[in-house]
Amino acid sequence: MPNRKLLERVRNKLLLTSLGIICLALQKPCFLAAQSAGARPQSAPAGNPAPAINPARAVNLAPAILVEIKCKSGTADRWLADFEKEILPSIQDVIQNGGEITHFSYVESVLPGSSFEFILIYQMKSFGSLDRKAPWPHYVALARRLGQARATEVLTEMGGWEESVRVTLVRTSPGAP
């Protein structure tokens, strides 16, 4: 199965390259860094402590939530249509009203067979809002716009189209230093 491993490596490299190109094309370019920016580089010996974060660089890093969504077969177009019609205006409402979300971007996969259909990137004021047990701010805005019953119906329907959802906490950077 060496060919399968090679194909998998090529596919992964293409996905990473595509994601990088798409991030560059976004309105506000974002390069993702691991949440623990103080992680030890691979070249550093195991006994050495992790390098400290440069304070000037730390100011530019914004907390963000990265959500990867894989849709069930044949449902990605419906998911995107409902997202753009119902959810996106709620996210924009939260941003415009100075809510916890400060910036939002989403990426759509262009490669067939990719591990995701969409990546949603929510830049936040802080990760502190995750300490409180509360609905996502844009879900509250959605319920305010559509009413609780319709908002629940939309979220349930869209959730039925999702095969898997993966959430990762990251820090974003506005670009090259």
Domains of the chain, with CATH numbers?
2-37+58-173 (3.30.70.100)
User: Over pLDDT 70: what percentage of the chain?
Assistant: 64
Averaged pLDDT score across all residues of the chain:
76
Give residue-wise pLDDT tens across range 4-36: 666 666 555 555 444 444 443 443 434 443 333
Euclidean distance between CA atoms 137 and 63, whole angstroms: 16
Give pLDDT, residue 96: 93
**Confidence tier at 123 by pLDDT (50, 70, 90):** very high
According to DSSP, residue 177 is labeled: -
Give yes or no for a contact between 68 and 115, defined as CB atoms under 8 angstroms apart. Answer: yes
Give pLDDT, residue 24: 39
Give residue-wise pLDDT tens across range 43-94: 444 555 544 555 555 556 889 999 999 999 999 999 999 999 999 999 999 9
* Top-confidence residue, 127 or 3: 127
Give residue-wise pLDDT tens across range 100-117: 899 999 999 988 788 899
Give pLDDT, residue 11: 59
- Residue 79 tokens read as 């998911």
Euclidean distance between CA atoms 130 and 39, whole angstroms: 22
